[in-house]
Amino acid sequence: MKQSLIVDAFSGAAGDMLIAALLDAGASIDTLRSCAASIPALAKVRVDVESVRRGPFAARKLSVTLPHEHAHRGLSDITKIIDAASLSPTVSVRAKSAFAKLAAAEAKVHGMSVEKVHFHEVGALDAILDIVGFFALAESLGVESFYYTTLAVGARGTVQGEHGEMPVPAPATLELLAGHRFTYTERQEELMTPTAAAIIASAFEPLPLNHGVVQGKVGYGAGTRESKGMPNVVRVSLAQVADAAASPATDGEVTVIRCTIDNMNPEHYGDLMQRLFDERALEVYYTPVMMKKNRPGTEITVLCEHADLEHVSRVVLSHSTTLGLRVARESRVELPRRIETVETEWGPARIKIATRPDGSETASPEYESCREIARRTGLTLADVSDAVRRVWLSR
């Protein structure tokens, strides 16, 4: 079993809180200071940590003193800063991946290209330290995989940003958490910051409920604000997460939505599919069918979790020409699977491993991970995918 990090953001999270929690779990403040010293732009930074109390929890709180600035940096500027640092390839790639996701989220919110995005607050030096420092500390603790249990966000209130007053959760935070499970709370304050959301979106996945956990050290990181009710801390656990080996396959249910259409512009199907995936559809596919009056048509099939039925159905009814839907609950059998990270000559890459009923394993390199390497290196996606598979087989 590999060393894993499990984040329980029951009261939200910020970048500095995640770092403080890692320090509380056993990471060294000297590692963070060395990381900052390796980044030329952070040469004058001062990093300290103190013990505090938030509600019933003893926690650690990070204190960072940085030179005052009003710089507005784009993704290319952030990338140059990270590339100029003396970081391990794994930390460098993970940090740049987090900022790339942050840029994509900001671009979507503001309706512009990624190249034109300027980060404002999240591009400040403390955010660079938060993201790079988090992955450097995680690496120092031997963490190879990242999971979360609870991600809490505020449901009401506003937060003041560079673009003025914005609703809680911040728009970029919601974009970053698309596809991840999180919980709205009644608290009228920002609980999950875009920086923390970028860290989680770039490296974390939900902790599978059927995986055994061997618990290690636990750490608590405190935020600056002392909130009423739930204490303003984030909890992290170092653990060994076992594969789901209780049985060769896991049973479950999925909700299936179907409809048939013979009067929709074919150009609109691509938009519909993307909207459905944005609303957490598990699968979407189109099947050609013959309909009444001998008309060729298309059957739309959407798979989703039952909890997502309402908003997934709303997308189909709003963005297609169908007049109704058929809904069914179906059982499914799945092979146990896990995500691992392998080290290639171009940096870390993720690969999905499934266990067959006879105990043998099959692996499939993750598309997004391989695509990022292919774009960065100029290699073909096929060559990167083959290389990732070879590295896994060699282990």
Mean pLDDT of all residues in 203-216: 83
Contacts of 48 (CB under 8 A, 6+ apart): 29, 62, 63, 64, 65
Mean pLDDT of all residues in 136-147: 95
Q: When comparing pLDDT for 335 and 48, which is higher?
A: 48
Instruction: Give 159-186 pLDDT, tens digit per residue.
Output: 665 656 767 788 889 989 988 888 888 7
Contacts of 249 (CB under 8 A, 6+ apart): 333, 334, 335, 336, 357
Instruction: Give 5-33 pLDDT, tens digit per residue.
Output: 999 999 999 999 999 999 999 999 999 99
List the beta bridge partners of residue 145. 4
Instruction: Give 273-294 pLDDT, tens digit per residue.
Output: 999 998 889 999 999 999 988 8
Give the residue from 196, 191, 218 showing the smallest Cα distance to 58: 218
What is the separation, in whole angstroms, between the first and last Cα of the chain? 14
Instruction: Give 361-386 pLDDT, tens digit per residue.
Output: 899 999 999 999 999 999 999 999 99
List the beta bridge partners of residue 338. 353
Minimum mean pLDDT range among 106-110, 175-179, 287-291, 350-354: 106-110
Mean pLDDT of all residues in 183-209: 88
Q: Please name the residue ranges forming H helices in the chain.
A: 15-24, 29-37, 75-83, 89-110, 125-140, 171-176, 194-203, 268-278, 309-319, 367-377, 381-394
- ω before 194 within 30° of 0 (cis)? no
Query: In this model, does residue 112 exceed pLDDT 90?
Result: no
Instruction: Give 223-268 pLDDT, tens digit per residue.
Output: 988 777 789 999 999 998 876 444 444 456 899 999 999 999 999 9
- State how far the Cα of 290 lies from the Cα of 184, in Å rounded to an integer: 44
Indicate whether this model's pTM tops 0.75: no
Q: What percent of the chain has pLDDT over 70?
A: 90
Instruction: Give 82-104 pLDDT, tens digit per residue.
Output: 998 889 999 999 999 999 888 88
- State how far the Cα of 253 lies from the Cα of 245, in Å rounded to an integer: 20
13: which DSSP letter? B
